[in-house]
């Protein structure tokens, strides 16, 4: 949407602006097949946040709402910040068919026929889905909000949703999801490297993490300080640690959990 033709909010909550007529024409000619991700303009800040992760992990927002007008208007809005959107009318079809491995977030209506958004959220959490979930409702209560956050929702917004509030929540959710995936990947790499250590190297690592000097480690293991230095050099190389601080930061938890 261009600055010369800003979008306006209609009374029923639809998002109208440049390109809306084209979106309606697309909706009328849409096939009965599975929902497709909508292409979006490039350059969104959340999209830039994951550029280094790779094009295959370009952020995708799953939008679940039984109201077609709401889906179309929110898809247009979300696309303005460079995020792709895949819209779903049926929450059960979404649960069965969405990509759990991609980077992105989920925008989920609370009140839908057949199954509530809160129940869908519970199912996603039970399945270990890590994409952040933003819940939308036109009839929010304090109890509903409390339950949503207790169940793991990233945000809880009331309809008609404020455009900037939703976009800010989505960009923050995507950034947090990227960081979460990066931490998970780093943790996985750390576990793989730790598994390469010999039993003696793990003993030395444990004593290093405990704060012992080479001489103290040598006395504890009944070996010479030179032998300790050799084990220390080997484990630093295998773990790809460039400093003691890095070694402790990445491997202390593995040592304590061993």
Cβ count within 10 A of residue 141:
9
Q: Tell me the longest C-alpha to C-alpha distance in the chain.
A: 80
Residue with tokens 């339950």: 147
Q: Is the pLDDT score of 81 beyond 60?
A: yes
Summarize pLDDT for 168-224 with one digit per residue, the tens.
Answer: 999 999 999 999 988 888 888 999 999 999 999 999 999 999 999 999 999 999 999
Please report the sign of the dihedral spanned by the C-alpha atoms of residue 147, residue 152, residue 158, residue 159.
negative
Ordered structural domains, the chain, with CATH = 8-182 (3.40.50.2300), 196-257 (1.10.10.10)
Mean pLDDT of all residues in 42-63: 58
Q: Is the pLDDT score of 107 beyond 80?
A: yes
What phi and psi values does residue 186 have, to the nearest 5 degrees?
-65, -40
33: β partners: none
Distance CA 104, CA 50 (A): 10
Distance CA 139, CA 155 (A): 15
Inter-residue contact 102 to 85 (CB < 8 Å):
no
Mean pLDDT of all residues in 109-114: 92
Query: Residue 21 has what DSSP assignment?
Result: H
């Amino acid at each position: 949407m261009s600055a010369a033709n800003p979008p306006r909010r209609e009374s029923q909550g639809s998002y109208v602006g440049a390109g809306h007529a084209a979106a309606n024409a697309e909706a009328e000619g849409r096939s009965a097949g599975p929902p497709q991700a909508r292409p979006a303009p490039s350059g969104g800040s959340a999209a830039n946040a994951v550029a280094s992760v790779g094009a295959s992990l370009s952020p995708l927002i799953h939008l679940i709402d039984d109201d077609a007008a709401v889906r179309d208007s929110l898809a247009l809005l979300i696309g303005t910040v460079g995020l792709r959107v895949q819209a779903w009318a049926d929450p059960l079809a979404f649960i069965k068919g969405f990509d759990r491995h991609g980077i992105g977030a989920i925008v989920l209506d609370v009140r839908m026929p057949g199954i509530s958004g809160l129940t869908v959220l519970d199912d996603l959490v039970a399945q270990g889905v890590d994409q952040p979930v933003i819940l939308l409702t036109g009839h929010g209560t304090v109890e509903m909000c409390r339950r949503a956050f207790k169940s793991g929702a990233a945000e809880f917004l009331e309809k008609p949703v404020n455009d900037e509030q939703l976009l800010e929540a989505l960009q923050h959710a995507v950034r947090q999801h990227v960081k979460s995936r990066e931490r998970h990947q780093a943790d996985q790499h750390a576990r793989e490297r730790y598994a390469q250590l010999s039993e003696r190297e793990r003993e030395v690592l444990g004593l290093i993490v405990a704060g012992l000097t080479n001489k103290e480690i040598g006395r504890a293991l009944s070996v010479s300080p030179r032998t300790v230095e050799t084990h220390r050099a080997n484990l630093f190389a295998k773990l790809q640690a460039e400093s003691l601080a890095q070694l402790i930061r990445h491997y202390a938890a593995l040592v304590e959990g061993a």
